[in-house]
Amino acid sequence: MKIAHNHTHGRTACACNSNCCSGKDKTVIDNLQETKTVSSTGVELHSKSSVLPGLTLGKINYTSVLAKESAVLTQVPAKTPVAKQDSLKKTQFRLSGLDCADCAAKLEKRIKDLPGVMEANINFGAGKMTVSHTTALETILDTVKVAGYRAELDGQAKSTVFRISGMDCADCAAKLEKKLQALPGVTEAQVNFGAGKLSVRHTASVETILQAIKAAGYEGQLANEKGQPSQKSLFGDHKVLLTILSGFFVLTGFILTYFHMSEPIVTGIYLAAMISGGFYTARSGLYSLRSLSLDMNFLMMVAVVGAAAIGEWAEGATVVFLFALGNALQSYTMDKTRNSIRALMDLSPKEALVRRNGQELRLPVEELVVGDILIVKPGERIPMDGEVVAGQTDVNQAPITGESMPVEKTVGLEVYAGTINGQGSIEINVTKLVEDTTLAKIINLVEEAQAQKAPSQQFVDVFAKYYTPAVIIAAILVAVLPWLFFGQPFQLWFERALILLVVSCPCALVISTPVSIVAAIGSAAKKGVLIKGGAYLEEAGGLKVIAFDKTGTLTEGKPEVNSVIPVEGIRQEQVIEIAAAIEKRSQHPLAEAILRYAGEQNIQMSEGTDFQSFTGKGAGLQLGREYYFIGNNRLFEEMKIPLHSLQEQIAALQKRGNTVMIVGSSQEPLGLIAVADKVRESSRAALAGLHAAGITKLVMLTGDNTGTARMIAEELGLDDYRAELLPDNKLTAIQQLQQQYGKVAMVGDGVNDAPALATATVGIAMGGAGTDTALETADIALMADDLTKLPYAMHLSRKALGVIKQNIGFSLVVKAVFLVATFLGLANLWMAVFADTGAALLVIANGMRLMKVGDPYSDAATKPNQSSVAYANA
């Protein structure tokens, strides 16, 4: 039994958690009423528990009273509400991290044992927990978290994105993430160091999270708040001004020392340098100590205090100044990198000229709705995604697709927010809200991509996890052991221990990969290539083989009917009429070509019944008393319909690059329709650029016939082709290529070839600006509907992979050199700080080079035969 006693009113609630029944409840009440200090009792039953809210007890021995009936007695804390029927709540939670049924049973028991919990039931299969309780929700959430799992109110948790300022170290970002994950009411927290953002899934209030961010030493604000800070100038930050002041004091101290000024005065000058330059470092260090998460700021604070303690004021002041200067430069360069993506937000106008009820109004884009008519004048940026309903113009789509030439836009064509109108005036029907525009999706996906950890980053994180504690332990041993056991001077080895503390910070190593990925992904987005994570950037950097879907990728995807050849006794119109009747129900590009041709020839399409589709082969339809088919050789072979008289004509048409479709009844063929899909003008140069960028094998996968596939492969300079593939065969072909060559990319439209894209090491989709499917299914999306940016994407990926390896290697070498130099007595404190912050700045600068990687193909696009030379020189 659980008992809650209200000391003010002398009322106590009892809850029996044994296997109670109403009979036992009555016996217990009788026993209690026999006690003189009990004035009244009452019983209310809730499922398997008994609650007695009416007891008024004095000083009684609850255990002795209840022992007669073997009831289990537990006193409920006085702060727990009395368990009345009207205060009892039933709450459902969603659990995560619960992977075993036995664990679920143990957690259920743990929750049931909480004071104020009447009933708890966990549905392991659904990952849900239902609790009947009077205790606070935070108590239940905390208990689940302590047990090693996560819980959130089912259907009530929300996701919020915060923008963080002052977060200039990747290791500090990881510690902030860990701190927030431990916050009550937070079920998930992810810090995107590259974008300077924090994503939190929570039931706790936004104010609670903001306070936690501030307590960690950073400033946070909701990401969607207006007036987000733009990049500060290097000298517009008060931290930088304090750093300059610190540098002035250090320089003054050096000059005064040179002229042998009084030691107390010089010491005071150096102390002023420490205070001015180390204020923010000390504050962050104290936050770190308070949260028991030792970061670089804490280690630096200990090193400086230690230096002052042994009288090395000049060295301590120099260390503070160099560290503050390094932080200021690191903050500035990281802001510059982050702003490469934030600049995309400024592409779209904040206001738009809209026509409503016959009036022209200028409104914020947030107030626009689908169906609004916008007026865009010559030279203005287009504010929203929409469809042209009046006017004609050329639009510069480079901010979205990376296309160098303006694209003509007429009535019925789609335009994108952030693109630039040419010389014409147009009216646009808004088709998407401001948060759903293509530009908004690009920004969102890029920032998500920057948060994804690449394989190299995972290695760095594991290394740093063990490296820092190991070096700190080594520093403690270095400070103590030589002095205790070998009679060495304490100050000498204490100073070396302080140097080790500085060397123990893995800042340069931890930041080496994120800064490279942020710079590369941001640069690619500006050029019309959306890379959806560091993992895909690294994988693309190691590719040797790329496979292509033919239709709509290497070709324009708009096939046209070249010729119609009926058998003897059949008219062309009959062949087209039958073919069009069947293809009217199909979505295949070849079907569209036949329907267009039928329309041009003014041929009426009959209505049929019993339509059947034969995947990868063709289709059939009942017309009148006869069943007709249209398809390839395989379909008619399976139907046992002889094609002997047409084989030579089929072969001749295929050799000329046609896709041949056979039309026939269930008894005989009636004719041939030759359809050809034009090769994209940009394909040949793009493939040449890929070869020059280091891709050794280019393979075409197509369901088309062998003759057509061979002709296109020869025309484009492909290394291999696989023809007559069913959709499932393309997936198998990718798997075979992976077994043979390792990493393989697949390029397609992201719709018909989605399984193959998902199976490939890197899935690349074209036309991301025009279709949400391409953005969602691909690992890399080419925003323009052609291959011109693919060589650039491979070129950038290889550059990025090289830079990441350079940064990691350089950071490890610097650490190794200074560890050895410290033990040999060849390094001092300020040298260690200079090396640590200097190394961090160098890897940032090296990573930022990726922001300036150009697109050699754009210059060679107009001269395809020069693309190989352009890439070779890039």
Same fold yes or no, 88-153 and 560-676: no
CATH number for 158-222: choose from 3.40.50.10420, 3.40.640.10, 3.40.50.2000, 3.30.70.100.
Answer: 3.30.70.100
pLDDT class of 793 with cuts at 50, 70, 90 = very high
- Between residues 77 and 325, the one the model is more confident about: 325
Average pLDDT estimate for 376-401: 90
Angle made by CA atoms 687, 559, 661, in degrees to the nearest 5 = 115
Q: Which two tokens stand for residue 645?
A: 């008289």
Contacts of 149 (CB under 8 A, 6+ apart): 95, 96, 97, 98, 103, 107
C-alpha 341/C-alpha 349 separation (Å) is 16
Poorest-pLDDT segment among 246-255, 310-319, 530-539: 310-319
Q: Which two tokens stand for residue 367?
A: 């107030």
Average pLDDT estimate for 645-651: 87
> Is residue 2 scored above 70 in pLDDT?
no
Q: What is the DSSP letter of 381?
A: B
The sign of the torsion formed by the CA atoms of 748, 749, 752, 756 equals positive
CATH topology for 360-436 is 2.70.150
Q: Which two tokens stand for residue 780?
A: 């890399």
Q: Which two tokens stand for residue 545?
A: 């083989």
Q: Which two tokens stand for residue 241?
A: 């001004």
Average pLDDT estimate for 514-535: 85
- The confidence score (pLDDT) of residue 373 equals 94
Q: What is the mean pLDDT of the chain?
A: 79
Q: How far is CA 558 from the centre of its chain?
A: 34
Residue type, 263: E
pLDDT tens by residue, 56-72: 333 334 433 443 343 44
State the CB neighbour count (10 A cutoff) for residue 405. Answer: 10
> Is residue 868 scored above 60 in pLDDT?
no
pLDDT tens by residue, 461-497: 777 777 777 877 888 888 889 888 888 888 888 888 8
Beta bridge partners of 564: 673
What DSSP assignment string belongs to 797-861?
Answer: HHHHHHHHHHHHHHHHHHHHHHHHHHHTT---HHHHHHHHHHHHHHHHHHHHGGGG---HHHHHT
pLDDT class of 197 with cuts at 50, 70, 90 = confident
Percent of the chain's residues with pLDDT above 70: 80
pLDDT tens by residue, 562-592: 899 999 888 999 999 999 999 988 877 788 8
pLDDT tens by residue, 819-864: 888 888 888 877 887 777 788 888 888 988 998 888 765 544 444 4
pLDDT class of 555 with cuts at 50, 70, 90 = confident
C-alpha 372/C-alpha 490 separation (Å) is 78
- Between residues 525 and 867, the one the model is more confident about: 525
pLDDT tens by residue, 84-120: 444 788 888 888 777 677 778 889 999 999 999 999 9
pLDDT class of 796 with cuts at 50, 70, 90 = very high
Listed by start position, the domains of the chain span: 2-85, 88-153, 158-222, 360-436, 524-555+683-795, 560-676
Helical packing angle, 137-146 and 101-112, nearest 10°: 140
- Between residues 370 and 27, the one the model is more confident about: 370
Beta bridge partners of 119: 132
- The confidence score (pLDDT) of residue 10 equals 41
- The confidence score (pLDDT) of residue 154 equals 67
CATH number for 88-153: choose from 3.30.70.100, 3.40.50.20, 3.40.190.80, 3.40.50.720.
Answer: 3.30.70.100
Q: Are 167 and 196 in contact (CB under 8 A)?
A: yes
Contacts of 762 (CB under 8 A, 6+ apart): 536, 539, 540, 543, 743, 745, 746, 779, 780
| pTM, two decimal places | 0.65
Poorest-pLDDT segment among 59-68, 162-171, 790-799: 59-68
> Is residue 1 scored above 90 in pLDDT?
no
pLDDT tens by residue, 407-451: 899 999 999 998 899 889 999 999 988 888 888 887 777 777 666
CATH number of this structure's domain 2-85: 3.30.70
Has 99 been annotated as catalytic? no
Residue where the block lists tokens 């005065």:
265
549, 749, 786, 855: the active-site residue: 549
- The confidence score (pLDDT) of residue 33 equals 47
- SS3 category, 146: helix
Average pLDDT estimate for 752-757: 76
Q: Are 724 and 529 in contact (CB under 8 A)?
A: no
> Is residue 613 scored above 80 in pLDDT?
yes
Average pLDDT estimate for 300-321: 80
C-alpha 105/C-alpha 364 separation (Å) is 54
> Is residue 389 scored above 80 in pLDDT?
yes
C-alpha 702/C-alpha 710 separation (Å) is 11
Contacts of 749 (CB under 8 A, 6+ apart): 549, 552, 553, 557, 765, 766, 767, 771, 774
Q: Are 275 and 321 in contact (CB under 8 A)?
A: no
State the CB neighbour count (10 A cutoff) for residue 755. Answer: 16
Angle made by CA atoms 238, 291, 96, in degrees to the nearest 5 = 115
- The confidence score (pLDDT) of residue 578 equals 93
- The confidence score (pLDDT) of residue 211 equals 87
Strands 49-56 and 11-16: antiparallel
- The confidence score (pLDDT) of residue 722 equals 93
Residue where the block lists tokens 């290697």:
809
Q: Compute CA distances 121 → 33, 112, 115, whole Å.
A: 34, 9, 16
Contacts of 814 (CB under 8 A, 6+ apart): 508, 835, 836, 839
Q: Are 296 and 280 in contact (CB under 8 A)?
A: no
The sign of the torsion formed by the CA atoms of 230, 231, 233, 234 equals positive
- Between residues 285 and 11, the one the model is more confident about: 285
Helical packing angle, 296-309 and 313-345, nearest 10°: 160
CATH number for 524-555+683-795: choose from 3.30.420.40, 3.40.50.1000, 3.40.710.10, 3.30.465.10.
Answer: 3.40.50.1000
C-alpha 101/C-alpha 85 separation (Å) is 32
Q: What is the DSSP letter of 553?
A: I
C-alpha 436/C-alpha 424 separation (Å) is 26
What DSSP assignment string belongs to 734-794?
Answer: HHHHHHHHS-EEEEE-SSTTHHHHHHSSEEEEE-TTT-HHHHHH-SEEESSSSSTTHHHHH
Contacts of 740 (CB under 8 A, 6+ apart): none
Q: Which two tokens stand for residue 422?
A: 């040419």
> Is residue 51 scored above 50 in pLDDT?
no
pLDDT class of 725 with cuts at 50, 70, 90 = confident
Q: Which CATH architecture has domain 560-676?
A: 3-Layer(aba) Sandwich (3.40)
Q: Are 431 and 386 in contact (CB under 8 A)?
A: yes
- The confidence score (pLDDT) of residue 768 equals 65
- The confidence score (pLDDT) of residue 160 equals 86
- Between residues 18 and 702, the one the model is more confident about: 702
pLDDT tens by residue, 622-637: 998 899 999 988 899 8
C-alpha 82/C-alpha 416 separation (Å) is 60
Exposed / middle / buried, residue 261 (Cβ in 10 Å: 0-12, 13-18, 19+): middle
Contacts of 322 (CB under 8 A, 6+ apart): 830, 833, 834, 837
pLDDT class of 302 with cuts at 50, 70, 90 = confident
